[in-house]
């Protein structure tokens, strides 16, 4: 597992779709708050070494999971299994915030396989 410096906790990591904040980590897990701006979306992607559990905190999230679409409101959650093709999207006019709990043996940003990306990162 890639070690995280304590200074990386609670720091905003900006991406084209918004940002994320690492709020907790330990052996085999990492927890983030993901903030997605209106009209933005994360790439359609998969992970070979981690599963994820998402809980919507605010706004309405559109989730693509293995070609199925789910609309989640605050308090609702979804599990993303290892190797599942998925995307978190915000086609609405208000921000969304999601808690993401990652579990696995590689929690680095290198464990992302992108299939589609509106920002040209495939």
The tens digit of pLDDT for each residue in 22-67 reads 999 999 999 999 999 999 999 999 999 999 999 999 999 999 999 9
Q: Is residue 3 part of a domain?
A: no
Per-residue pLDDT, 3: 62
Those residues whose C-beta lies under 8 Å from the C-beta of residue 112, and which sit 6 or more positions away, are 43, 45, 46, 47
Could you tell me the residue range of the domain that residue 84 belongs to?
9-104
Q: How many domains does the chain have?
A: 1
Query: Residue 59 maps to which CATH number?
Result: 2.60.120.10
| Mean pLDDT value across the chain | 95
Which DSSP symbol is given to 119? T
b or e along 34-60 (b: 16 or more beta carbons within 10 Å of the residue's beta carbon)?
Answer: bbbeeebbbbbbbbebbebebbbeebb
Q: Is residue 26 part of a domain?
A: yes
Q: Is residue 111 part of a domain?
A: no
- In the block, tokens 């993303």 appear at 80
Q: State the burial class of residue 76 (Cβ atoms within 10 Å of its Cβ: 0-12, 13-18, 19+).
A: middle
Q: Is residue 120 part of a domain?
A: no
Q: Is residue 1 part of a domain?
A: no
Q: Is residue 57 part of a domain?
A: yes
- In the block, tokens 């609405």 appear at 92
Q: Is residue 121 part of a domain?
A: no
Model confidence pTM above 0.85:
yes
Per-residue pLDDT, 8: 79
Q: Is residue 93 part of a domain?
A: yes
């Amino acid at each position: 597992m890639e070690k995280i410096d304590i200074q990386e906790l609670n720091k905003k990591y900006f991406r084209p779709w918004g940002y994320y904040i690492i709020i907790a980590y330990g052996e085999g897990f990492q927890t983030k708050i993901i903030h997605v701006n209106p009209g933005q979306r994360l790439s359609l992607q998969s992970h070979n070494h981690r599963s994820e559990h998402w809980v919507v905190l605010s706004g309405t999230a559109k989730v693509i999971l293995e070609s199925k679409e789910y609309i989640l409101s605050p308090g609702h959650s979804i599990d993303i299994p290892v190797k599942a093709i998925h995307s978190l999207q915000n086609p609405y006019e208000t921000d969304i915030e999601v808690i993401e709990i990652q579990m696995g043996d590689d929690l680095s940003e290198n464990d992302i396989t992108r299939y589609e990306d509106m920002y040209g990162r495939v």
